[in-house]
Structure formats: C-alpha cells, structure tokens
Structure 1
C-alpha cells in the first residue's frame, strides 16, 4: 500500500468562529494518505492583553504528525510569551519588533521540541511546515516556514502571497551547501522536499552552525501588511495538498464565487477540499479561510445562477444515461468524461467541473442503483 490508501478518506474535520470583526471556517481531510499529518490553529482574541489580536495557522507534518500536533498546541504561546514579542507591545506596538518576536517564538519552540525529544532517548524524526497569520487592529503579519502557503485577497485580486521554501531556491540552496549538504532532485540531500521546517532534527546537527544556518532552518519569513478597511476581503492558509492542484488566482476566484452563494465558511472550506481531491490531489488537505468585513457577500443573482447550473447538470446527467439506452447503464466515469468534453456555462471559476462532482454524483446515484466506481479513474476523468 505504501504511502497511499486504496481509496481516499473523505471524512472532514470542520470548525468555525467569529470575533474581532473577523469570521473563519476551516476544513481538513486525510485524503489518499495513509496517515493524517496536518494540524491547525484558530484563535480569536489572544492572551497577554492581546484581546483584539487573532492568530490562524496550518501545519503540514511529514515523517509523522508529532511536530505538527505539538506546534498547533504550543507555537502561539511561544510567540506571545517570549520577551522579544512582549517588549514589542510596550506602548505602541513596533512592527519590526513584532516580527522579531514571532521569529523568536519559532526558534524557541524548535529548540524546546529538540530538548523534549532528546530526553525521551530518541530523536523524533518528524517535521512540519507552518504558515500562519497574526492579525492586529492595524496589521496582518504573514508567517511562513516551509512550502505551505498563505495569501491575501484585496480589492478583487491576489494582493499578497507567501513564498514557498524549496531547496532549489538560490538562497536556500546556498545555506544548505554552506552547511555541507546538497540539493538533489530538488530535495535536501536528495530526501527532504522543504528547506525550512520545524522539527526535522536529523537535518539540524551541523556543528559550528547556528539554528538558522543548518541544512533545514526553523526560521520563518515574516511579512507585515497594513490593513485596508473595506478593501481586505479574505485570507487563505493551506498546505501544499491544496496548492499542488490550484494556483493562487484560481483558488481566490473560486472562493470569491463561493462567497457569493453562501456565507457558511465551513461549507466553502469543504468545497475547496473536495474540489482539490477531485482535481487530483494525493496529499492531506487543510485550509483555513478568514474573512474580513470587505469579503464578497451573498448575491441573489449568483444564487440563481448556481441553482440554474445545478438544474442543468441534473438534466444533462439524465440525458446521458438515457442516450446510452440499449448499450446498458453508463458508469459514472463515462458521465464525467462526457460532461468534461462539453462547454458548460457558469461553472465556478477555478473549480470548474471538479467542483460540481458531488452534485453530479448525487444525481447519478438517485437515477440508477448505486454502483461502485474506481475513485482514481473518476478523478482522472475530470482533472
């Protein structure tokens, strides 16, 4: 079976909340992977007197889930309680000092996890990326360590997105080589696909080098963006299981179209995850969607178009089944391939036919007795 299951695990974990003039929804799915190694954090109203601040993050674990789980429970406290971060909050918060405090929190938790691992007489070999946002009343602090990604949609376009930390990036490659390593097949020493991560202590044992000079660095890149009331729409944080099959603009367009037909952020997050599965993602998938007051609102016209699209798809599925006639009942793969070959109006941008797979499957199963289909073939038919 290797690293993949025979069939994807499609059960989802969901959560949502609101406060500080923000709303969020999240969804995570194990998918085709044998283990679920993703984790997440969503906190509105922080401790240490930061009631008006919020924090959201996604962690994509590898070689185990231990580091990702520990970070989702403890990273925020390591950030907000360290002296560098606390000193930044004296009087008027200094942006550069806040950024420095966030970096300190990452370095501290990484060293703390190493100490815990060594006390257990065996180094934990798992690691995790981390992408997050800390939102203050005046700024959005994007935080990235690894190849998960976060982006901000503002004024109808992708205003900002984090840069993936890949071993092939020139600056990352230089650090790896200076630490005595190499980049082969776009991996650290031919093995690890990310150049920055928490954990991964097998790659952090080069003597004479500091924590940020190792083969794999735990140092995040932190970006501060001034908030723009009325223009800021939403933030998306997601692991590479999402970004592997959807580009930044595609996902933003898809989210924008979904927000025009529902204000249920859990539902929108679920649609993102399902769509990425049907587009061919083979990884764990996690997404956090954070909406500002300027996010798109439900539109009666968009709701009407969506209903008309669903009705059209229902009719087409029935026509395809009837047209098959004497040849016998067509399988769902045939139905999906037929629809994929057609020019269907008003499909959700970015999601396209893959985002309507559940609607099509529901109609198919309603019209004929349920029959088992190969999920992998079905995905190939529409991706």
Structure 2
C-alpha cells in the first residue's frame, strides 16, 4: 500500500537541457460540492530535485459573507520556517496555507485557523530522518487529531456544548514539494500549463468527503449512524470534519486525506477555496477565470499595466465577487497562491 495518494510527477526536461537528468529507476450548513478525481502516480517516491532554487509562493485572499448572517469561514497564511528549528532533513523553507469552512457557527473554523498550524509545528520531524515523507504525513495526521481533540474538549466544557464544526483544506509547502491535507468539501486545485499547447491543466489536489460516497457511508453505518437525504442523520453534509462532537461517535472522522505534489516550472498558481466558490464555479472555470483576469490586466493596451502581484490580488477578489454575483448564497473564501519561478 502506497503512503500517499500521489499526483503526477513533473515532466522530465528534454535531453541535453540544463535541467535534464539521466534515467532513474522508480520505486514501487454544509452542502455538497462538485467532485473531480485527481490523477494518481503511485510508486514514484523519487528523491530528485524538482528545480534549481525555491519557487516564490505569494498568497492573496478574498472573503465574502454571501447571504449568510455571519462569516463562518477562516483562513491561515504563515511561514513556519523560523519557528521550525532545526528544520527537517534537506528542507530549508516551510510555508502553510489553509482555508476552514465552518458550519453550526464560526468557533471551530477560528479555532482550527489559530491552532492547526501550531500543532503541525510541534510535530514536524526535526533534523535528519530516514524517511521525511513518511514523517511529514504522520505529523499532519497527528496535528489534525490533536486539533480536533482540543476543540472538542473546549466545546464540551460549555453549557450547552458547542456544536460547531469545520472543513479544512491545508497546503504545507516544504521547499518545492506540497503536502495537501483535507477534510470535508473544501478544495485545492493547481494550475499547470501544458508546455506544448500552452493551455492550462487543472490538477485536483484534494478529495472531497461527503456521506453519499460509498466508503464514507459504510464507515458511518458501521459506527451506528445512517445517511438520509445525503446527510449524516439527515443533518451534516460532510463525512469528515474538525469539531461536530455529536457526530464523531457516528463515524464522522478527523482523519484527512493527504497528497504529495512536487511543483514544476509549468505551475502557475494554487487555488484553495470553500464550497461556496464551487457552488458557482467548476474547478476548470475557476482556473480559466483567474488566468483570463491576470492576462487581461497585463495587456499592452494599458499604458501602465499593474505588476504580477497586483494582477493576482485583483483576480482573487474578482473571483470571489463573481461567485456571489452568480448566486452562491454561502460564505465564499478564496485563497490564491501564485507561483513565481
């Protein structure tokens, strides 16, 4: 059994190019959002460098309340490098991006935004290690478990007990390798440009969890729960989450799916968003919308076109605005991470 549900490896550079390498042997209230399966690349845990030097990752965020009474979403953007000393073997930079889509209140989302990365930081493998990838996955799984347990303890201490819950979509960038973890139906997608056609390829970095999926439903039923109208007990529309204490004994899990994805020279940006965005956009439409807005603002027709950072910032806010305009009544949070080479 493979450790990670892998995404495709980066394409090899043409023979004779400066970045080419000799051939190597490979070792072997929540609502549903649209599901897109990602490609897998099992058995390709290679220790090669993706590129020379680190890519620059710059984040932009836009939040919209939609038609809800309050904003129940939260997000985190931080550089963990200084606090994480000594760093894991062969890693010099550790960045963290996350979006949390709360339901039943905003407390679980805010708690996760303040604490999940701190728990990751406590558990990151320090110094030399025989298998950094395995240790990174264990660190992420343990951090999710600890964060959930800490919130549930706090929630239970109140009378009446808090019933808040939240999805989570997190990206941990260890140099030029992404580790993606998610619970629920928030999503992360990567825009990768096809070098031959110059057209975008959309890589889904996350797997949604809702109780209508066979494996999710079976786990819930084995735990004594049931699925009615696409919801756990006819109430909760996700099958994995942080919080939701009243559903944990019924099979709602705090165990995230974890993927690993090396960045390449063909990558342009990562989009993290709650399902409020994907009620109005498919992943492909969102990627195209961002690319179109970034390119339009850099048009030579404009006397002084804005710089790249400003263009991505503008595209992020326009995407959130357009989701609301198209009728997404839910909260909308868009976190856009531009990749510069």
Aligned partners of 1:167, 1:177: CA distance in 2, in Å? 10
SS in 2 for 1:167: coil
Aligned partners of 2:128, 2:64: CA distance in 1, in Å? 41
The reply on whether 1:31 has 2:30 as its aligned counterpart is no
Answer whether contact 1:24 1:288 (CA < 8 A) is retained.
yes
Q: Over aligned residue pairs, what C-alpha RMSD do you find? A: 1.8
1:246 positional shift:
0.4
Aligned partners of 1:90, 1:116: CA distance in 2, in Å? 36
1:81 positional shift:
0.3
Aligned partners of 2:101, 2:270: CA distance in 1, in Å? 18
Answer whether contact 1:27 1:287 (CA < 8 A) is retained.
yes
- Give the alignment of 1:10-29 within 5 angstroms: 21-29=56-64
Aligned partners of 2:330, 2:214: CA distance in 1, in Å? 26
1:91 positional shift:
4.4
Aligned partners of 1:216, 1:81: CA distance in 2, in Å? 25
Answer whether contact 2:80 2:121 (CA < 8 A) is retained.
no
1:119 positional shift:
3.0
1:164 positional shift:
1.1
The reply on whether 1:145 has 2:180 as its aligned counterpart is no
1:94 positional shift:
1.4
1:96 positional shift:
2.1
Aligned partners of 1:153, 1:223: CA distance in 2, in Å? 16
In structure 1, the partner of 2:233 is 189
Aligned partners of 1:258, 1:266: CA distance in 2, in Å? 10
Q: Which has the higher contact order (CA 8 A, sep 6+)?
A: 2
The reply on whether 1:270 has 2:317 as its aligned counterpart is yes
Q: Deviations over 1:80-124 (max 9, x none)?
A: 202xx325x534761122012101100001111122223334421
Greater Cα shift, 195-204 or 47-56:
47-56
In structure 2, the partner of 1:70 is 111
The reply on whether 1:220 has 2:259 as its aligned counterpart is no
Aligned partners of 1:200, 1:59: CA distance in 2, in Å? 14
SS in 2 for 1:80: helix
In structure 2, the partner of 1:79 is 120
1:20 positional shift:
6.4
1:226 positional shift:
1.6
Report the count of equivalent residues.
265
Gaps of 5+ in 2: 1-28, 30-53, 194-199, 298-307
- Give the alignment of 1:1-383 within 5 angstroms: 21-46=56-81, 47-49=83-85, 50=87, 52-82=93-123, 85-86=124-125, 90-91=128-129, 94-155=132-193, 156-204=200-248, 206=249, 214-228=250-264, 230-262=265-297, 263=308, 264=310, 265-293=312-340
SS in 1 for 2:66: strand
TM-score (norm: length of structure 1): 0.66
Answer whether contact 1:20 1:53 (CA < 8 A) is retained.
no
In structure 2, the partner of 1:373 is none
User: Taking structure 1 as reference, are residues 90 and 218 closer, same or farther at Cα in structure 2, changes over 3 Å only?
Assistant: same
In terms of Rg, which structure is larger? Answer: 1
Aligned partners of 2:188, 2:217: CA distance in 1, in Å? 23
SS in 1 for 2:324: helix
Aligned partners of 2:146, 2:128: CA distance in 1, in Å? 21
